[in-house]
Amino acid sequence: MNPIELEIRRPKADDPRYTERAGTRGAEEVFQELKQRLDSMGMLPDEYFLLDRDWQDGRRIPEGADVFVTTDYGESEGVYLDGYLKWYEDSKSVTKSFFTGKTLGETGADLDRMFLIASEITKAFHGERGCHERYMRLGEREKRGDKIVCLTPKEQKLFIDALIDRREKLVGEMDGTEQLLRRMVGNITQYMDEVGERPLRISSFDKTMLAIRDGELEAFKKLLPKVIDHADELLIETAGRAGTVGRKMTICLLNEVKAFSNIAYLTASRRAVAVGDTERVQFLMEQYEIHAAEPRAEYYGEVIAHAIGENRQMARTLLEQSPACRIEASSPELLYCASIHPSENFQLMDELVKKGAPCGDRAWEILNALTSGGNTWIAEILLRDGMKVAADDCGAFDVCVKNGATECAKKLLEQGTDFERYTEWAVGRPYSATDEKALAELKAYCQSIHSQEQTAAGTPTQEMALGGLSQ
């Protein structure tokens, strides 16, 4: 299995439409690739495995950085695995936490397993240098006497043979058996070399899925012509396969298949967002109208909305590169998603509004999120910068009244909100003394707007006045 790269060393050669800049990779993308690799081998820490907060929101790994891992008992219960990045700035060594893993167990076997996971992480970044021995765990987790045993290559072969011979009988444990075989053997190419001649029932599609998860590009290319009928499933899997090899697989598949279902393409785009690969998401968005069976105008907004919840920096990048026509065609869900965390997403929301993002029937929810949470100033700016609320949206106006956002209510009146219709709609609704005072102020403001409009409509122009005098 190829090591995980921290730096992008070579430009892509697979597709001239998709170029990759030289330099370092995004921290989230690298972490997702590592997490995926550990998961495929059944080696994820069972309590949690998390990227450090400082490396989120699109931060890139420093040039020349290296990874090292430590394992020890924690001050509280459990065994901890900590990964660090180390690099040099101005000839001085800098070390920062990169990720943390934890298991709740505290036995010696739990500690041994975490050291094995640390070993797999080290090999993921530095490769397997020379022959090494494999390990096997004996006993159940609940038993304090379980052990990790080291197997020589000869013993490893005996163990693999035994698993293969019994594989067909272990119907209820097929997934675990497959995972253990892969952990004992290695990547998909080694796996198929080892078990390919045995009486196994594994389809070309299963082999392709294993090649994707293990990052075996050449195996994937050879198998692809046999599994084109599963194009939708393969697109979702390749788009969500972290790392450079996942990008190349995605490009290879798009070159081979003309059209994918809309739901598969959207799901694949969301998977690419989840692995933190901004370039891959941009590429999928660029190719959408070419490769979607029935392109939908709302697609672009749906992808950005998903990115807002997963990776705010990615969402900003996608929005900056999206023309206004695509944002105008998005559903109200896009602006609503940004309003959930308004303080963090203020600039993003303002840019959405300026590009014409609609609020539609979610206007009252958006305004409520802003005006009830101490962010009325954001609502005022958004309404000033072009956030459009329907004139008959009484619920949106009512939210401003009830939350004391009088200036926002005034801006809605300026946009054309029908105050008389609102008062009819609000009959029987309970109002506090503060609400009644605000309504009186808004009624007077509404009358002043109508008075100004009537005056403007009834005042003759200077040219007309001069004409009348000459006559």
Same domain for 115 and 177, yes or no, is no
258 forms bridges with which residues in the sheet? none
CA-CA-CA-CA torsion sign (396, 402, 405, 407): positive
Same domain for 12 and 32, yes or no, is yes
> d(Cα 378, Cα 368) in Å, to the nearest integer?
12
Q: How many domains does the structure of the chain reveal?
A: 2
Same domain for 84 and 168, yes or no, is no
**In this structure, is residue 383 part of a structural domain?**
no
Indicate the residue type of 75.
Answer: E
Same domain for 62 and 188, yes or no, is no
21-37 pLDDT tens trace: 557 788 888 998 899 88
**In this structure, is residue 135 part of a structural domain?**
yes
Same domain for 128 and 157, yes or no, is no
Where residue 428 falls (left for φ over 0; alpha for ψ -120 to 50; beta otherwise) is left
**In this structure, is residue 178 part of a structural domain?**
yes
Cβ distance 98 to 67 under 8 Å?
yes
pLDDT over 80 (residue 303):
yes
**In this structure, is residue 268 part of a structural domain?**
no
Same domain for 41 and 112, yes or no, is yes
Q: Which domain holds residue 39?
A: 1-143
Q: Give which of 126, 123, 144, 143 is closest to 135, Cα–Cα.
A: 123
> d(Cα 369, Cα 365) in Å, to the nearest integer?
6
Mean per-residue pLDDT, 430-447: 91
Range among 42-46, 75-79, 382-386, 448-452 rated most confident: 382-386
Residue that wins the pLDDT comparison between 246 and 188: 246
Q: Which range has the worst mean pLDDT, 119-128, 159-168, 341-350?
A: 159-168
Mean per-residue pLDDT, 106-119: 87
Same domain for 2 and 109, yes or no, is yes
Same domain for 70 and 98, yes or no, is yes
If one counts every other C-beta atom within 10 angstroms of the C-beta of residue 206, the result is: 14
> d(Cα 60, Cα 259) in Å, to the nearest integer?
33
Cα–Cα separations (whole angstroms), residue 408 to 121, 291, 348, 444: 53, 43, 20, 15
Tokens linked to 34: 């590592």
**In this structure, is residue 419 part of a structural domain?**
no
Same domain for 87 and 161, yes or no, is no
**In this structure, is residue 166 part of a structural domain?**
yes
Residue 133 — very low, low, confident or very high, per pLDDT cuts 50/70/90? low
**Tokens 């495929």 sit on residue:** 40
Same domain for 108 and 163, yes or no, is no
198-234 pLDDT tens trace: 545 568 888 898 888 888 899 999 999 999 999 999 9
**In this structure, is residue 283 part of a structural domain?**
no
Q: Which range has the worst mean pLDDT, 73-87, 132-146, 270-284?
A: 132-146
Same domain for 65 and 115, yes or no, is yes
Q: Give which of 157, 134, 138, 156 is closest to 147, Cα–Cα.
A: 138
**In this structure, is residue 76 part of a structural domain?**
yes
Same domain for 103 and 167, yes or no, is no
Q: Using the 8-state DSSP alphabet, how is residue 186 labeled?
A: -
Question: Does an H or E element contain 411, and which?
Answer: helix 406-415
* Neighbour order of strands in the sheet with 92-103: 48-51, 92-103, 79-89, 66-73
pLDDT recorded at residue 239: 95
Indicate the residue type of 470.
Answer: S
